[in-house]
Amino acid sequence: MVIDWAAALLGFSVGVPASLLFFAGLAWGVRRALRSTRPGALLLLSFLCRVALLLAAGFWLVSSRDSAWPLAGYALAFFLVRIAAVLWVRTARILASANQECT
């Protein structure tokens, strides 16, 4: 099996901004839902928009090349951005709790 690095890099370069938009939309939707009187509807709409974005980019990648390497790069980008987002939120939460304990 030969890895098509150009195709994987294409998938990765499309996956990073799509994933950033996905998690930014998640953060925005949760913040809005916490202040909303109908959080379920808002979260459902946010979810549908975010998944539509991810699927549209994924389908475009799959149709652009004859191999699955763009999709592999896309998935790798999603998981790396997810790990970074989780670490960022955890770090912010730890820092916020440490600041509250000091005061």
**Sequence spans of domains, the chain:** 8-102
The token pair that represents 8 in the structure block = 């994987």
Question: What are the per-10-residue average pLDDT scores of the chain (103 residues)?
Answer: 91 96 95 94 95 94 89 96 95 84 72
Say what the pLDDT of residue 54 is: 94
Residue tagged 């000091």 (tokens): 102
Question: What pTM, to 2 d.p., does this model score?
Answer: 0.86
Say what the pLDDT of residue 103 is: 66
Residue 89: closest CA among 30, 9, 14, 10: 30
Say what the pLDDT of residue 86 is: 95
Geometric angle at alpha carbon 22, from 85 and 46, rounded to 5°: 120
Say what the pLDDT of residue 1 is: 79
